[in-house]
Amino acid sequence: MEKMENISSNDTSCKYPDIFTTVIGQSTIGMIIFSSVMLTICAVAIAGNTLVLLAFVKIGKLRRTRNMFICNLSICDLVTGLAICTRTILGEAASDALNISLVAISWLTILGIAVDRFIIIVAAPTTYQQIVSPRGIVITCVCFWIVPLSTTLPFSNDVDNVTLILFNVLPSLTMTVLVFIMILYAIILYKIRRHEKRLRDIKSSRQFRETRAVAKAFTLILGVAIIVTVPWAVEAFRISLQMRRSGQPCYYTSVTFFIFSCVGLMNSAINPFIYWRKMPGFKSGIRSLFRGCCEKDSLSSSHMSSITTNKKDENKVKDIDPSPAGTVSHSCPDSSV
User: Which segments of the chain have a pLDDT < 70?
Assistant: 1-13, 87-92, 195-208, 292-337
The alpha carbons of the chain give a radius of gyration, in whole angstroms, of: 29
- Helix or strand or coil: residue 15? coil
pLDDT of residue 337: 33
pLDDT of residue 310: 56
Q: Which tens digit of pLDDT belongs to each residue from 16-28?
A: 777 877 888 888 8
CA distance 178 to 184: 10
CA distance 243 to 14: 13
Q: Structure pTM?
A: 0.77
DSSP state of 21: G
Q: Which tens digit of pLDDT belongs to each residue from 138-173?
A: 999 999 999 999 988 887 778 888 888 889 999 999
pLDDT of residue 331: 40
Q: Which tens digit of pLDDT belongs to each residue from 79-90?
A: 998 887 776 566
